Structure formats: C-alpha cells, structure tokens
C-alpha cells in the first residue's frame, strides 16, 4: 500500500521567513496530493492540493510543488505569520480507491 | 458553506463496551470515510464507503469495527468491544463524485477507560 513520509517533524521559523515541508510517497499510481492544516483539537483543513498532471500550484503565500519522477512533493509557505503555527499534514491518494494516506505531520511554529 | 458534522464531540466509555460514532456528511456527497488520529500521531485511514458498501478498508479496520448508512443522512462507525488502544480522535470525511478533495468533520474524541 501507499506509504507517505514527511519531514521535518518540527519546524520553527521567525515571522516573515519561509517554511518548507517535504513529503515522499511510494505508490506511483497516486495522483492527488492534498495538504491539510490542523490546529490543536480541530479538524484537518485543506489548504492546498495538487494533481499529478501539474508540477506547481500557488495560492497567495502557499505553494506546492510535485516531482512525479522522484515521487516527492513539497509545501512552501512564504512570509510566515504567527497564525500559520499549526500541524501540517501531507497526504496522497489514487482515483480508484480515494482512501488517503497521511504523512506523520510537521509541527510548524512561527515566532513573532 | 455546508460542513460535515459529527456527534458526540466527546465520548468516554469502559473497555469492552460498544460505541457508535455518528456522522452527517455533506448532503450531495456520495463517498464517506472514517479516519482516526491517536493523540499526537498522524491521521490514519480506516474505511471508505460508497453505494452502501465498503470500498476499501485498512489493516486497522478489523472485525471489531463496522460502518453503516442507516438512513439518507447518517453514516456511523461502530466499535463492538472497545479496547484501551481505541482511544483516539475519530474523523469522518466525505466527498462527491469526481472530486478527490475530502472534507473532514470536527471529530469525536473517544476515551476508553
């Protein structure tokens, strides 16, 4: 089955700096890669996603890149703000089953 | 904006008891999922459900677990005889035909004593 690895497990940055979180996946049939932000005790909230026919996608301060050959994808947050502090999860799924496999999460702390 | 809802928000039960966690997916969604998240760990897939049957289940989803769509709106997860290690946050999610984005409910925090 699909295995998603995520790094780093914790990340601390100064406000205004950029943050990068990286994930790798094992199943070449995976074609959908969402990123979720989870605040303490809350539900995972989708922040951005990318499909395998696209190499990069951007939404304001958030961007995601995908390298299908290497089977890795990354989340980039620019101009970080304290409210970006949360746990971020990457995930991967295939059209056929659509069950998502999550990475272990990255706890991002943005220091004011 | 429509959201997935879940009840109860918290459930405390004794080991060996049965629990039923309830979810109301977004009304036009056809695919339903249960995930669990043990405290401080990643979100883990349990089961997916479509057209009144299980589509896929993980190794976690053993005979103690079952899912049901008893009516047109609810989607339930039953744990037949709870164990201490079932303590976790359980999330329901749903999506619609042709869409891979899954929308999560707020979760039910289950504590097994």
From the list B31, B43, B56, which residue is nearest A102 (CB)? B43
Closest CA to A34 of A96, A100, A80, A79: A100
Query: From CA B6, how far away is CA A110, in angstroms rounded?
Result: 31
pLDDT score, position A97:
57
pLDDT score, position A96:
59
CB contact A95 to B (< 8 Å):
yes
From the list A32, A42, A101, which residue is nearest B100 (CB)? A32
DSSP-based three-state secondary structure for A10: strand
CB contact A107 to B (< 8 Å):
no
Counting other chains too, the contacts that A55-63 makes at CB distance below 8 Å and 24 or more residues apart are: A62/A35
pLDDT score, position A33:
95
pLDDT score, position B85:
95
Closest Cα in chain B to A104: B42
B2-58 pLDDT, tens digit per residue, is 899 999 999 999 999 999 999 999 998 989 999 999 998 889 999 999 988 999 899
Whose structure tokens read 């990123």? A35
Compute the C-alpha angle B63/A29/B98, nearest 5°.
Answer: 80
Tell me whether the omega of the peptide bond preceding residue B74 falls within 30 degrees of 0, making it cis. Answer: no
Could you tell me how many residues make up chain B? 113
A18-41 pLDDT, tens digit per residue, is 999 999 999 998 999 999 999 988
3-state secondary structure chain B: CCCCEEECCEEEECCCCCEEEEEECCCCCCEEEEEEECCCCCEEEEEEEECCEEEEECCCCCCCEEEECCCCCCEEEEECCCCHHHCEEEEEEEECCCCCCCEECCCEEEEEC
Per-residue tokens: B72: 């047109």
Binned at pLDDT 50, 70 and 90, residue A53 comes out as confident
A2-13 pLDDT, tens digit per residue, is 899 999 999 999
């Amino acid at each position: 089955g699909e295995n998603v690895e995520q790094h780093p497990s914790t990340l601390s940055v100064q406000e205004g700096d950029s943050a990068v979180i990286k994930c790798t996946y094992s199943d070449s049939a995976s074609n959908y890669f969402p990123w979720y932000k989870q605040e303490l005790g809350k539900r995972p909230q989708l922040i951005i996603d990318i499909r395998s026919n696209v190499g990069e996608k951007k939404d304001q301060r958030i961007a995601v890149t995908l390298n299908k050959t290497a089977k890795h994808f990354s989340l980039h947050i620019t101009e970080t703000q304290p409210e970006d502090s949360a746990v971020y999860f990457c995930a991967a799924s295939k059209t056929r089953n659509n069950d998502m496999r999550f990475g272990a999460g990255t706890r991002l702390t943005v220091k004011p | 904006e429509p959201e997935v809802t879940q009840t109860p928000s918290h459930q405390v039960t004794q080991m060996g008891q049965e629990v039923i966690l309830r979810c109301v997916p977004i009304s036009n969604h056809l695919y339903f999922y249960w995930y669990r998240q043990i405290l401080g760990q990643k979100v883990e897939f349990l089961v997916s459900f479509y057209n009144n049957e299980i589509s896929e289940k993980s190794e976690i989803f053993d005979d103690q677990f079952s899912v049901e769509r008893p009516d047109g709106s609810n989607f339930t997860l039953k744990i037949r005889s709870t164990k201490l290690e079932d303590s976790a946050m359980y999330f329901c999610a749903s999506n619609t035909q042709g869409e891979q984005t899954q929308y999560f409910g707020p979760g039910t925090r289950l504590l097994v004593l």
